[in-house]
Amino acid sequence: MGTGYLYLSTENNVERFLLHALRSPSKVYRDRFRRDVEYYLVKLDSHYLCIVVVGNVVVTAYLINREKYRAKRWIR
């Protein structure tokens, strides 16, 4: 995905951005303990956008850096 600021000023822009991220993730992980949880990672410059999906519902999205990977909890 692109670089720089995201400029997501409306709810519609945020929704479109998240849908695009879910369709084209950089990496996808499953939760080691909960099989219905997946983590979609999208590379954004030096950070990743992490979108957490439970079942088929997006429950949260946040930015992480490489050091914040929760690799012990994630499996491919």
- Residue-wise pLDDT for 4-53, tens only, equals 456 677 888 888 888 999 999 999 999 989 999 999 999 888 888 899 99
Q: CA 49 from chain center: how many Å?
A: 4
- Reply yes or no on whether the pLDDT at 59 is more than 80: yes
**What is residue 51's predicted lDDT score, i.e. its pLDDT?**
94
Domain boundaries, the chain: 11-75
Query: Model-level pTM?
Result: 0.78
Name which residue leads in pLDDT, 24 or 69.
24
**What is residue 11's predicted lDDT score, i.e. its pLDDT?**
81
- State the number of CA atoms in the 13 A half-sphere of 12 facing the CB: 0
**What is residue 24's predicted lDDT score, i.e. its pLDDT?**
94
